[in-house]
Amino acid sequence: MLVLLAALRIAVGYVAVPLAFEAPASAAVTVLFMVLPIAALFLGAGHRWDLRQAIPIVVLGVIVHAGSSELIRMATGPAAAGIFRATGQAGLVVWCMGVGAALACLLKDRNMLLPIAAFLALFDTWLVFAPEGLVSQALTKGHAPIALSSVALAIPKIAAQDTPPTNGYAQDLAYIGPADLLFLAMFFTALYRFGMRPRATLKAVAPVLVAYLFVVLRFPDASVGPIRLGALPALLPIGLTVLWVNRKEFKLVRDERIITWALILIGIPLVAWRIVVTQPTVDPYPDWTPPLERSDEDLLKTYKF
């Protein structure tokens, strides 16, 4: 699956479609690069993981991911850089799978997934929407695209024939944060370990995240009150979907119910309060292009969800 993903990423760097087909081609590419990593994590989660297996996978993925970033800087042309970028992106998925599997191995009971999912959803919402959250700060200071390009999974952009060719280095359209990938891997692995509903969860979470990404891409500058649609917390729909699909699998004892409800009843008002306070003025993302193709004429705008 990761080999296919890397090959497709390299191929996108050489493809240019007629302007009339740019929108449907971009939609197809977006769906592919959203669904394939999720499918790869799902397939990896089906393995019987333990910490001794997970840790080497994390190390391998980090070496490939970080090493590829260095090779991109040393590349002599866009074609070589595109190959290194595709390899590094595969390494990113590998180490996210390893970290997620390791976290799942630490869970002793399926009921722990409920408060964990609730906490992650609230925490990610705070990170993205609260004025002091990391994503909000990055957007305000204009560093989001450059920072995300080195650590996140990129959704490539397909070029139109009336734009300059990328010559093998696919431009980025959107980013998926590594936290979204590793916690998705954790949930899938835990669902397998505890004999819950991993396949049904995959069938539900994949289209939900695809739709979520299309909202980000379709309405990048729109806002609903203090919430900007150009950056959305993916752990919120991931956690809610996992809990909804597996809702009948949880049998909470009294203390677990108290902890879960306390987290929800305290966390939601607290996060909502931080979101609705006076928001800082957010400047548009700075124009940015890959290192090999920086110019004043060839500019790219990217978004994160």
Write out pLDDT tens, residues 39-82.
999 999 999 999 999 999 999 999 999 999 888 888 878 888 88
Per-residue pLDDT band at 266 (split at 50, 70, 90): confident
177: left (phi over 0), alpha (psi -120 to 50) or beta: beta
Residue-level pLDDT at 90: 94
**303 confidence band (pLDDT: 50, 70, 90):** very low
Alpha-carbon torsion, ordered 152, 34, 129, 140, to 10 deg:
50
Q: What is the per-residue DSSP string for 291-302?
A: GGG--SS--B--
Residue 226 gets which letter from DSSP? T
Q: Per-residue confidence at 254, pLDDT binned at 50, 70, 90?
A: confident
- pLDDT tens for residues 28-51? 999 999 999 999 999 999 999 999
Q: What is the pLDDT of residue 40?
A: 95
Read off the pLDDT band of 222 (50, 70, 90): confident
Q: What percent of the chain has pLDDT over 70?
A: 81
pLDDT at 131: 58
- At 157, give phi and psi (nearest 5°): -105, 130
Is the pLDDT at 300 greater than 80? The verdict is no
State mean pLDDT over 205-226.
Answer: 84
Mode of pairing for the β-strands spanning 227-228 and 223-224: antiparallel
Q: What is the pLDDT of residue 57?
A: 95
Q: Give the other-Cβ count within 10 Å of 203's Cβ.
A: 12
- The rounded distance, in Å, linking the Cα atoms of 239 and 264 is 13
Residue 225, sorted as left (phi over 0), alpha (psi -120 to 50) or beta, turns out to be left
Phi and psi angles of residue 290, each rounded to the nearest 5 degrees, phi first: -55, 155
Nearest to 295 by CA among 206, 194, 164, 168: 164
DSSP strand pairing (303-304 vs 171-176): parallel
User: Contact 272/262 with Cβ under 8 angstroms?
Assistant: no
* pLDDT score at 302: 43
Q: Mean pLDDT over all residues of the chain?
A: 82
Asked if residue 101 has pLDDT above 60, the reply is: yes
Tell me the two tokens of residue 203.
């069938």
Question: What is the per-residue pLDDT across 160-206, written as a single tens digit (0 to 9) for each?
Answer: 776 666 677 888 888 888 999 999 999 999 999 999 999 999 999 99
